[in-house]
């Protein structure tokens, strides 16, 4: 009888086909994958191994691409990504959830970024969203300096969809370095990416244009947004910007319009584009983190009133610790990521409806400087 049962199970299993999702690219070059849209309607997936050897796949439609495997340069992290069904411009305002985790300026440093998310229970060891209906805010500057820029962008892209499915949200806000790359200003780009662009045969700015999946997605992101009564952006709001009647949505639309145009497109000093895209714009302005005699608590209070918020959260300008400024009206979140990781100092911000505190990469609550 047992032999008949075993025979029956064997025949049953042989007749069953277990279909595993196909992963592109094959397990050979999974570093820095790019989805490139060709003029003839085909799609190229270009990827690399750790030595920048190129691998290529061609598809007739996005539907043919199931999962993309993404690996960091050192191979210490890897995960799969499913392409979004479509790319949608995010809202500029959200109601406040139970928790908001804020981290700024990853600059291609996957170790600091990922350990911060894992240590604070935003993602699990398999790089999946476990933050429920809460929100993650990344305050720009994923681009430049480090060698895992593409992997970090793909991870944020992946988490955005997972968070939405869970009733939460991921917000990638644009920083000045996203605009610099889109405008082909590559002064701070890791030399690895010069080699990658040369291997593919197109400019690095084209890899982040509307001709690629990540380029389309990044260029659709916001620059400024509010969650509850808190304003989030990369650099800061200048008094000059606050004196205009521009709405947050109009600022976001202006950046989307001009970020991939040559810098000279915003050179007219009397134009809105010049104000938004240059020194006194939300991508560059440092006056809230390094104030001079023209910026004081009264001025900052006026900026808050202008945008109908009670607090501003920024990155962009490095301070030793995550710090409160102007008696807590402004919180600056940009620190030296590697140094603060090594000395277990502050790395990110946790916000609830009734409290705000800084955390290290292990989730330890810390006092503000």
Q: Is the separation of the CB atoms in 163 and 156 below 8 Å?
A: no
Q: Is the model's pLDDT at 1 over the cut of 50?
A: no
Tens of pLDDT, residue by residue over 327-355, are 999 999 999 988 998 999 999 999 999 99
Q: Measuring CA to CA, how many Å separate 41 from each of 33, 36, 77, 211? A: 19, 10, 32, 11
Q: What is the dihedral of CA 135, 341, 283, 230, to 10 degrees?
A: 40
Q: Which pLDDT score is estimated for 311?
A: 98
Give the span between the Cα atoms of 207 and 203, in whole angstroms.
Answer: 7
DSSP E strands in 132-263: the ranges are 135-138, 169-172, 224-227, 230-233
Q: Is the model's pLDDT at 27 over the cut of 60?
A: no
Give the span between the Cα atoms of 299 and 83, in whole angstroms.
Answer: 44
Answer with the residue of higher pLDDT: 29 or 94. Answer: 94
Tens of pLDDT, residue by residue over 213-224, are 999 999 999 999
Domain map (residue ranges) of the chain: 87-366
Instruction: State pTM to two decimals.
Output: 0.92
Tens of pLDDT, residue by residue over 46-89, are 999 999 999 999 999 999 998 999 999 998 999 999 999 999 99
- Percent helix, percent strand, percent coil in the chain, to nearest 5: 30, 20, 50
Q: Read off the pLDDT band of 291 (50, 70, 90).
A: confident
Strand 224-227, strand 93-94: pairing: parallel
Q: Which pLDDT score is estimated for 341?
A: 87
CATH number of 87-366: 3.60.21.10
Q: Which pLDDT score is estimated for 66?
A: 87
Give the span between the Cα atoms of 186 and 161, in whole angstroms.
Answer: 30
Max Cα-Cα span within the chain: 92
Q: Which pLDDT score is estimated for 28?
A: 58
Q: Is the model's pLDDT at 25 over the cut of 60?
A: no
Give the span between the Cα atoms of 80 and 66, in whole angstroms.
Answer: 10
Among 99-108, 138-147, 289-298, 312-321, the range scoring the smallest mean pLDDT is 289-298
Owner of token pair 């389309």 = 216
């Amino acid at each position: 009888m047992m032999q008949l049962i075993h025979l029956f199970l064997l025949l049953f299993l042989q007749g069953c086909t277990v279909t595993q999702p196909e992963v592109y690219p094959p397990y050979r070059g999974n570093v820095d994958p790019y989805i490139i849209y060709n003029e003839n309607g085909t799609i190229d997936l270009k990827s690399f191994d750790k030595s920048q050897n190129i691998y290529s796949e061609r598809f007739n439609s996005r539907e043919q691409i199931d999962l993309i495997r993404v690996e960091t340069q050192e191979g210490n992290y890897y995960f799969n990504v499913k392409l979004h069904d479509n790319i949608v411009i995010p809202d500029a305002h959200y109601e406040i959830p139970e928790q908001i985790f804020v981290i700024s300026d990853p600059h291609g440093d996957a170790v600091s970024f990922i350990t911060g998310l894992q240590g604070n229970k935003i993602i699990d060891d398999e790089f999946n969203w476990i933050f429920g209906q809460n929100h993650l805010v990344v305050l720009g500057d994923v681009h430049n300096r480090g060698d895992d820029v593409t992997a970090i962008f793909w991870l944020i892209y992946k988490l955005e969809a997972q968070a939405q499915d869970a009733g939460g949200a991921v917000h990638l806000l644009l920083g000045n370095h996203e605009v610099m790359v889109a405008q082909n200003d590559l002064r701070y780009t890791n030399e690895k990416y010069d080699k990658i662009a040369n291997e593919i045969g197109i400019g690095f700015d084209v890899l982040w244009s509307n001709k690629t999946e990540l380029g389309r997605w990044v260029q659709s992101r916001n620059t400024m947004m509010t969650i509850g009564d808190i304003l989030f952006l990369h650099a800061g709001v200048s008094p000059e910007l606050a004196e205009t009647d521009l709405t947050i949505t109009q600022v976001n639309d202006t950046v989307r319009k001009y970020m991939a145009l040559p810098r000279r497109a915003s050179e007219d000093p009397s134009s809105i584009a010049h104000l938004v895209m240059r020194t006194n714009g939300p991508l560059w302005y440092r006056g809230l983190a390094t104030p001079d005699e023209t910026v004081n608590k009264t001025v900052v209070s006026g900026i808050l009133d202008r945008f109908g918020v009670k607090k501003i959260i920024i990155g962009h300008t490095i301070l030793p610790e995550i710090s409160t400024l102007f008696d807590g009206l402004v919180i600056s979140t940009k620190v030296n990521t590697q140094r603060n990781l090594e000395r277990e100092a502050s790395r990110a911000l946790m916000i609830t409806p009734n409290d705000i505190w800084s955390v290290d990469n292990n989730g330890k609550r810390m006092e503000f400087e």
